Structure 1
Amino acid sequence: MSTGSFENWNGNVLDIGPLYPFVGTEMVWFIICVAFWLAWHVLQWRMEEANYNDDMEVLKKGDNMERALKGEKVLRSM
């Protein structure tokens, strides 16, 4: 891709042409990035909620809560 000649800086910028590829697709890339960002947050929230619920089930069984409060390792490691 040619970015034009910069021999004369007094010229018209529009005559130089695009300085980077895919000029005009910035909004499309922004929308794609926001969609991936939101999807990542939703997936992260679901995984953390499932992990939290699993930990609560383990702590509710028997005397696991008391053992955990005493410092024993009751929950699985990450």
Structure 2
Amino acid sequence: MSTIGLESWAVDLAEVGPVYPFQGWEVAMTIVGVVFWLGWHRIQYLRENEHLKNVRDIGDKEKIAKALERY
């Protein structure tokens, strides 16, 4: 099984051109990688904002006072 279109390596590689797997898919794989990267950053942004919102609420003076009244 060959992903580069060669059946034998007994050729002059200077005449063959690119000899790496999935040649011709560079643009598609770059687009997939960039979309994945941007999606990951979006997910991280949303999760970190939610976490920071929860952290900000911890310092709310009213919530601290209510928590202390219980004891």
Where does structure 2 lack aligned partners over 5 or more consecutive residues? 66-71
Q: Superposition pairs for residues 35-50 of structure 1, below 5 Å?
A: 35-50=35-50
1:26 counterpart = 2:59: no
Aligned residues: 58
Alpha-carbon separation, structure 2, partners of 1:33 and 1:27: 10
**C-alpha displacement at 1:19, in angstroms?**
1.2
Aligned counterpart for 1:5 among listed residues 6, 10, 34: 10
Alpha-carbon separation, structure 2, partners of 1:48 and 1:12: 50
Instruction: Point out which structure has higher relative CO (alpha carbons under 8 A, 6+ apart).
Output: 2
Determine which structure has the larger helix proportion and give its number: 2
Where does structure 1 lack aligned partners over 5 or more consecutive residues? 64-78
Determine helix, strand or coil for the equivalent of 1:62: helix
TM-score, with structure 1 as normaliser: 0.61
Over 4 Å off, 4+ runs: none
TM-score, with structure 2 as normaliser: 0.66
CA RMSD of aligned residues (A): 2.2
